[in-house]
Amino acid sequence: MTATQDAPHTSPQPAAPAAPLDVEALVDRIDAGHRLTADEAVAVLGAPDADTFRIVAAASRLREKHFGRTVKVNYLVSLKTGLCPENCTYCSQRLGTAAEILKYTWLKPEEAVKQASMGIAGGASRVCMVASGTGPTDRDVDRVTGMIDQLKEQHPDVEVCACLGELKDGQAEKLKAAGVDAYNHNINTAESHYESICTSHTYQSRVDTVQRAGAAGLSSCSGLIAGMGESDEQLVEAVFALRDLDSDSIPVNFLMPFDGTPLEGHWELTPLQCLRILAMVRLACPDKELRIAGGREMHLRSLQSVGLQVANSIFLGDYLTSEGQDAEADLQMIADAGYTVLGAEKREQAADSGAEPGGCCGGSTAACGDAADEAGVDASAEGRASATKPELRRRGAGTAEPANA
């Protein structure tokens, strides 16, 4: 008998189950200076649905430490919609889109300022000025800086975030000199997943613009879109890239697959998954502004206010090419959850002193960035709660109809 024959037969042993995620202890370590690891982040995303509220509750400690119980309200003005030469699969404004969206070229400066003022009256402390397209010409930058001059003259304390696409040399500096506070350019997804969603430009070109804006002294606003077929590992890769880029503000969009786009009918997220994604971003970037952006109404649904336990920022009302939840309902949701709109006390004091009040006008807003209206929802997934397709925006900027009221 050979040595092999003499050896006792043993069956392969199953791998030991992973230890349950001790998220409370993890938050303690993060609060003491620990940086979330990729394995820990994947564990958060893969946690059982039953553990989700425990994860959110633990992560909320970091949110409250750095941001208290305030919610920053952002308002978007879509300066130019549609007509984009890029082929991003998620976007209703892409080259050759069959989505029945509004398409218009540049708003007049007075109309842009009027739209922005609606958001400010509704409580927005930041206005996002967004234009579709690959990137601005120098003439386009001059056009936008003129709008910002007028806006800042009327509302000197408002933050302005510009989102105009890829920047060329000198353009970020010109925007900064005009009073722009931040620049948005989303990386959207992991570098390893990027060619699956876009081939007309590269992931690196997006990173270059984020870095160019930061080098000019603009606050970095860069985020992602979840639900485009990426793995949990790729979602973590994207969030960690944003952490490495030191993005000050991170908008998290949830894909809304508009009819007429290549991702039409693509639906893979649940409300509890969305909460775990938000919690993971908070754990990875504990002191950064985390914004629930496009798709929150359709993907978080009745759990939108739970998302505020880890996110400290939202967009109010409508999105770039789709209608969102009524703006008054957004503000009521914030109040009902026990939060206050950032800057509300200052505005109330100004109103009491006889200054122009900043009451809610229910203005139309959108998710900051070229990925904001990339979110959508389709009711085709088995076992999902019923959801409607995104309502295309037919009001506000670029129309004769008043903004979301």
Residue list for the binding site: 84, 88, 91, 128, 161, 221, 291
Residues annotated in a binding site for [4Fe-4S] cluster? 84, 88, 91
CA-based angle 269:273:279, to the nearest 5?
A: 135
**Closest listed residue to residue 174, CA positions, set 141, 217, 136:** 141
Q: What is the length of the chain?
A: 405
DSSP per-residue string spanning 68-107: TTEEEEEEEEEEEBS------TT-TTSTT--S----B-PP
Burial (CB count within 10 angstroms: exposed 0-12, middle 13-18, buried 19+), residue 156: exposed
Phi-psi region of 316 (alpha: psi -120 to 50; beta: other; left: phi over 0): beta
Share of the chain residues as helix, strand and coil, in percent rounded to the nearest 5: 40, 15, 50
The H or E element that residue 186 is part of is: none
Q: Give the 3-state secondary structure of residue 320.
A: coil
Annotated binding site for [2Fe-2S] cluster: 128, 161, 221, 291
Burial of 10 (0-12, 13-18, 19+ CB in 10 A): exposed
